[in-house]
Chains A and B, each alone.
Chain A
Amino acid sequence: MIGLYAIVQGAPLEAVGARGEPLRIFRRGALEAMCGEEPPPLSAEALRAHEAAVRRIADAAQACLPARFGACAADDASLSAALGEREAELAEALLLVRGREQMTLRVHGAPKASLPAGSGPGTRYLEERRQASQIPALGPLRSALSGVVRAERVEHHGEPGLLASVYHLIDRGTSGRYRELVEATALDGLRVTLTGPWPAWSFTPELGP
């Protein structure tokens, strides 16, 4: 069994995995898969170790698409087949994340919908859905960050309190500037918590079925 850590370009030659094992580079076309031992049983420590190993790879590679904890393949043939099925998509994603890293914003607060006067229940429902998905109150933040953000993904949680997670791809080395801009931007009725920089976890195509 092969454990998968990341798909990269410009693979580091002496990378080690979560348990200190030397990683092997499996190549298919332009893709380089960083392969180690079979994933261990799940634990908080195993998750931390996987994340740390991926972070080391991402720091050393030109472009890195992290593999989730537990990603594995039976042998080289099945790994090659899995990569081959998604080769174009993975290559495109590598291009996007090259020289970049991810910042993660958790957006807390209640969605504030301003509805058209006299609107019926159907219109109101659709308008609430539209405003919830776009989170207009994040507008000032998007404007402030427009110079540093290269790509954005928004994941809506639909939970009271935690509205959404916003994932931003930024150029490596600009996280300090990003953080300053977030901290300097006032938001109406929303609170954000910021973590990063991370490897580009949220800009990686999912492998598998």
Chain B
Amino acid sequence: MKKRARSRADEIIDRADASLLEIVDHVLNKGVMLQGEVMLGVAGVDLIYLRLNALLCAADRLLPTRTGK
């Protein structure tokens, strides 16, 4: 699945959802959203949410208010 996602990366980034992808990358940080296994999620928007939720803990840590959670 990962290999397939990588092979589709160039195709997907040129689609309309590239704008959401760019926003995700800038707003959520560190470019991790652009890696291969995530690209698959961009075509089917539902899938991206799973990954976004996994990353949300990282966003929460931007200010040390939720330590211990």
Residues of A within 8 A of B (CB): 1, 4, 42-44, 47-48, 50-51, 54, 66-74, 78-79, 82, 104, 106, 108, 155, 157, 159-162, 165, 191, 193, 195, 198, 201-202, 206-209
Contact = CB atoms under 8 A, between A and B. Distances in A.
Is the contact region of chain B dominated by helix, strand, or loop, or is it mixed? Answer: helix
Contacts, number: 112
A40 B46 CA distance: 18
A152 B56 CA distance: 27
A162 B9 contact: yes
Nearest to A78: B65
Contacts of B20: 44, 47-48
B36 A74 contact: no
A42 B23 contact: no
Interface of B: 6-7, 9-10, 13-14, 18-20, 22-31, 34-36, 45, 48-49, 52-53, 56, 59-67
Instruction: Name A's interface SS.
Output: mixed
Given A82-B63, A159-B6, A193 B14 contact: yes
12 contacts: A4-B62, A4-B63, A43-B49, A44-B20, A44-B45, A51-B27, A66-B27, A106-B13, A159-B36, A195-B19, A208-B61, A209-B64
A161 B35 CA distance: 10
A106 B25 CA distance: 11
Contacts of A209: 61, 64, 67
A157 B52 contact: no
B63 A165 contact: no
Most buried by B among A48, A70, A71, A201: A70
